[in-house]
Structure 1
Amino acid sequence: MKKLTNKDIQDISVDILVYIDELCRKNNIEYSIFYGSLIGVERHKGYIPWDDDLDIVLTRPNYEKLLTLLRKQEKYILLSPEDTKNYRYAFAKLVDRNTKAISKQYYNSEDEQLGVYVDIFPIDGFPTDLEERKEFGDLCELYRANMVFSLNNSYAISRSWIKAKMKRVLYYPKYRKLLKQGDFDYWQKKYEELVIKYPIKDAEYCGYMEFINIYWGVFPTSWFKEYEDVEFEGHTFRAIKERDKFLRLRYDDYMMLPPEEERVTHHPYDFYFRD
């Protein structure tokens, strides 16, 4: 198999997002480029040069509409908690069929179909009261962590073979104890039922449940009311109008480049063209 360059990965993922954008515009579904990709919009008019994936977010109703449409297409592979057996993530990925990801981690439990992708995150509601938000966020994270911990040998995941073997021995008793409460399907179901407890249409605050730092991972729902076109890699995509507020909350001075030694991708994969 031929290994992809970072430019290959960026170009393929942009093509995936072009497809998503066309689908969303045709069906009146609002989405926003998000996280590091949104820094790319503001700072580079495209990819952060050393980055290798694209992130978008949708409010839960729009997320479900988009996934319904993606299930009907065959151009790309849809990986999601609702559609993929033993899928370790709490969000969806739309994957290029002609590429393959090979993880650098041991005991990673990645799906065999994983290749170059666009991450698709749902945004859900949170309680208004701060203490309730903290308790709710902690419980969501507990269920999500238990979900991943109970999947095969994911509790031992590591880039180091020695550390992976040590973790497998050290955490095996916890793994067996957890399985007595419920297996992966059990914890996934509990997580998926919990995160939609507060419908976003009625919520004052919202966030993506996997990144629920109570101070930078929860935001006013009003930030997801208005969207506009933005430029990214020579294409026009969608983003929330209040992106400066989000970026300052999440990343502080996001227009400042990080130190040179930090300008590397943190994703634990190498990507290849499939034979």
Structure 2
Amino acid sequence: MDLDQQLESCAMTPAISCTRVGKIWRSADSANDVEALRNISFTVMPGEFVVLLGPSGCGKSSLLYMIAGLEQPTEGTLLAHGRPVASPDADRSLIFQDASLFPWLTVGENVTFGLSLRRESKAKRREVADEILRKIGLADAADKRPDQLSGGMRQRVAVARALAMRPSILMMDEPFAALDVQTRAKMQDFLLTVWKDSGASVMLVTHSIDEAIALADRVLVFTARPGKIKTEVPIDLERPRSPRDPRYRELHDLFADLLADEVDRAFEQQEAAAE
């Protein structure tokens, strides 16, 4: 197989392949087991941006943890680039809602923390930190501490730390939920820029319809628990996407209708669990 054929083969192999995956969170008393996910099947292609949209408690985050290798499915198969997901890997990075930076390290040291575990030289780490921080607009922040940065800046550093490992799969669990509306919009624009530059496949969990439409190539809509894929919707709008576009409004109304019953059912489940 020549180089062109190898590249074509790699491009055709899904970055993520999820086949009939289910997840049950076990308890000491089996009567209190919680079925988080049921019969989840989908693929994410190299370079694709896929958003998981659904009500609270439907297993979206659990799915990311399994793809990251932090948890194992109860049933089904998870593959990353055609290989079974058995444990965490630097090629699959997960970013949480909380930036989770180490407060005793500088911004530059936080960005290259993974590289330090690989025993990369101090000079190499500094080179990588300077390059990535310049790309994300924080070139002057390398020697600052996280508590000297705004919430949006800290989240950018968390993205930079993930990108420093050059992952081919980047997963994000509601990374902008705690930010104000203006900062959130800026962070969405920033994420699209770094995604295009990195070429990574991205999976992002959100409860926000607007965020899903703004970012995704394709949206997977989840039911209430146990989470199943209710439908998938391609976003047929060129970027940047304006909320004033009639097609944007059509998509917004479609997602609102798809989620209405699921959100009601999720609230009923939460109320029942609290009794």
Query: After TM superposition, is the score higher than 0.5?
Result: no
Bucket of the pairwise TM-score, normalised by the shorter protein: under 0.3
Give TM-score, length-normalised by structure 2: 0.21
